[in-house]
A and B are shown apart, each in its own frame.
Chain A
Amino acid sequence: MAVSEQRENLLSGVALTSSYSVSRQRLLKGMTYLSIILSGLALLMIFAYARPETIQGNAQKLFYVHLGAFFGAFVLFGAAVVAGIQYLRLRQNRWDILGYAAIEVGLIFSLVNIVTGAIWARPIWGTWWTWDPRLTTITIMWLTYAAYMMLRAGIEDPERRKRFAAVYAILAFTSVLLTVIIIRVRPDTIHPVAAGPSLASDSAEGEFDMAPRVVQTLLFSIFVSIFLAITLTWHRIRLENRAEQIEARKAALLTKEI
């Protein structure tokens, strides 16, 4: 009785998670191809449309990828906060999976942001790394989200893991806000501010003119980066759903043996 009931539950679980409708699969496929084409277009714009900067030369072209990657990470970490709040309110598994996937992809995007920044800083600032407030806070941001992954790995009870992960994802967003705010309130940073007011415009090194073509290319790269981030996160969600599905099927098969 108990066993058959358990099996019933498991099979219904399988039915719930297994069906990825044809239209959704097509949409995901379309988004994947589109993000490849858009990335190519963005590269074309960066190298052919936007003119090289007079002082920085081609090193400035990294900036499009650098800022784009940050926006991608920002959107994903923001999505993780929304997912965390929604999970705590509704206790639906999908919000947990969204938060997990968004942070995992967001970690890659912020790593791209840090690495491209270091490569740009070498010719412009003359050093790969300096303990500037902005560079420090982004490192801390990365470490905070790395700690999120450690937290998930460390807690065995699934319900508790999801709950704590949601809480920590909300808490961790303070580090993102700190990173965004710091170059605008600290007068001693040398990191350029791309948009908005700043106290440090005198000390910033490596700023450049925002010509119309530069702005257009920049906006397009940011859009492409966010699109890519969403597509990759969806793939990660799908992967997670598949993994759960396989687990459920395995469990169902085992109870069948009994």
Chain B
Amino acid sequence: MKKMSFVTPYWQVVGAVLWKDLRAELRGRELVTSMLLFATISVLIFSFALELDAQAQSETVGGVLWVTVAYAGTLGLGRSLAAEKDKGSLDALLIAPVTRSAIFFGKMLGNFIFTLMVAFVMTFLLTILFNINLFLPILWIVLLLGCLGFASTGTMVASMSVYARARETLLPIMLLPILLPVIISSTRASIAIITDLKVEDWLPWLQLLVFVDGVFIVMAYLLYGYIVEE
């Protein structure tokens, strides 16, 4: 009988690409540091701009969390793909005789982990600054799913915008409207969970989020090969 193993050659490639990104990040600490700094500054601006009472704060903090994560994540995606292209590492990856979608999933998982790290630190920061407890296990599921949807579409769109002339401005213009279903459903689910609403208030948003994530990951899987053709 053949030994079953989850580590097929496909997932080995995914793991190798992911490991490369993680190792580069561990050595340089460029990406997560700049994302975190940017996110912290955004949160500070929000807390000055929205001087709210306790009730209004608990309804706003979910929105602040996701706006911050989306903007910081966009910043990170731009840097991640720009480094890949400018230093010629993308060309090297494409020369390798491996499936293109494996490269995509490696990159996607890297971006997913970085975005998730930022989102996690933000919940900590918002808990302190807004005095609202964000350490809720269900909220972590929303964070996980929201960041997954963000990373899948984000990696694909950033792989296109990186070739454009004004890539720093083009990426948010292209990415944020496409990502809106992810941002809306994560925000609504988070707000419902933070304000302690009943299960039937946040579960539909969570289901929508799972559905949207599925659609985006499948689309990215099908279309990525056409983006990195040459």
From A88, A141, A150, give the contact of B226 (CB < 8 A): A88
From B157, B161, B167, B226, give the contact of A166 (CB < 8 A): B226
CB-defined contacts of A164 to chain B, threshold 8 Å: 160, 163, 227
Contacts A167-B226, A170-B223, A178-B181; A155 near B163 (Cβ below 8 A): yes
CA distance A178 to B166 in the complex (A): 29
CA distance A140 to B230 in the complex (A): 32
CB-defined contacts of B153 to chain A, threshold 8 Å: 171
A154 and B166: CB pair below 8 A?
A: yes
Is A143 engaged at the interface, CB distance under 8 Å to the other chain? yes
Interface residue range, chain A? 20 to 34
Closest CB in chain A relative to B224 CB, distance in Å = 9
Is B165 engaged at the interface, CB distance under 8 Å to the other chain? yes
Interface residues of B in 203-230 (CB under 8 A from A): 215, 219, 223, 226-227, 229-230
Interface residue range, chain B? 20 to 34
Is A156 engaged at the interface, CB distance under 8 Å to the other chain? yes
A160 and B177: CB pair below 8 A?
A: no
CA distance A164 to B161 in the complex (A): 9
Is B44 engaged at the interface, CB distance under 8 Å to the other chain? no
Is B173 engaged at the interface, CB distance under 8 Å to the other chain? yes
CB-defined contacts of B41 to chain A, threshold 8 Å: none
B160 and A167: CB pair below 8 A?
A: yes
CB-defined contacts of A137 to chain B, threshold 8 Å: 180
CB-defined contacts of A4 to chain B, threshold 8 Å: none
Is A172 engaged at the interface, CB distance under 8 Å to the other chain? yes
B178 and A171: CB pair below 8 A?
A: yes
Interface residues of A in 180-231 (CB under 8 A from B): none
- B156-187 interface bits toward A, Cβ cutoff 8 Å, 1 = contact, 0 = none: 11001101111100100110011011000000
From A88, A141, A150, A178, give the contact of B174 (CB < 8 A): A150
Is A175 engaged at the interface, CB distance under 8 Å to the other chain? yes
A174 and B181: CB pair below 8 A?
A: yes
B173 and A147: CB pair below 8 A?
A: yes
From A150, A156, A175, give the contact of B180 (CB < 8 A): A175
Interface residues of A in 152-166 (CB under 8 A from B): 154-157, 160, 163-164, 166
Closest CB in chain A relative to B57 CB, distance in Å = 21
Residue picked from A146, A163, A164, most chain B C-beta under 10 Å: A164
B174 and A147: CB pair below 8 A?
A: yes
CB-nearest residue of chain B relative to A155? B164
- B136-148 interface bits toward A, Cβ cutoff 8 Å, 1 = contact, 0 = none: 0000000000000
Is A109 engaged at the interface, CB distance under 8 Å to the other chain? no
A170 and B219: CB pair below 8 A?
A: yes
Seed contacts A146-B173, A164-B163, A168-B160; 11 additional CB < 8 Å A-B pairs:
A140-B177, A150-B170, A151-B174, A154-B165, A154-B167, A167-B156, A168-B174, A171-B153, A174-B215, A175-B178, A175-B180
Q: What 10 A-B pairs come out closest when comparing CB atoms? A: A154-B164, A144-B177, A143-B177, A147-B174, A164-B160, A147-B173, A140-B177, A140-B180, A167-B223, A154-B165
Give the B-binding residues of A (Cβ under 8 A). Answer: 88, 137, 140-141, 143-144, 146-147, 150-151, 154-157, 160, 163-164, 166-168, 170-172, 174-175, 178
List 23 contacting pairs A-B, 8 Å CB cutoff, sorted by A: A143-B177, A146-B173, A147-B170, A147-B173, A147-B177, A150-B174, A151-B161, A151-B170, A151-B174, A154-B164, A154-B167, A155-B165, A156-B165, A163-B226, A163-B227, A164-B160, A167-B156, A167-B223, A168-B157, A168-B160, A168-B174, A170-B223, A171-B157
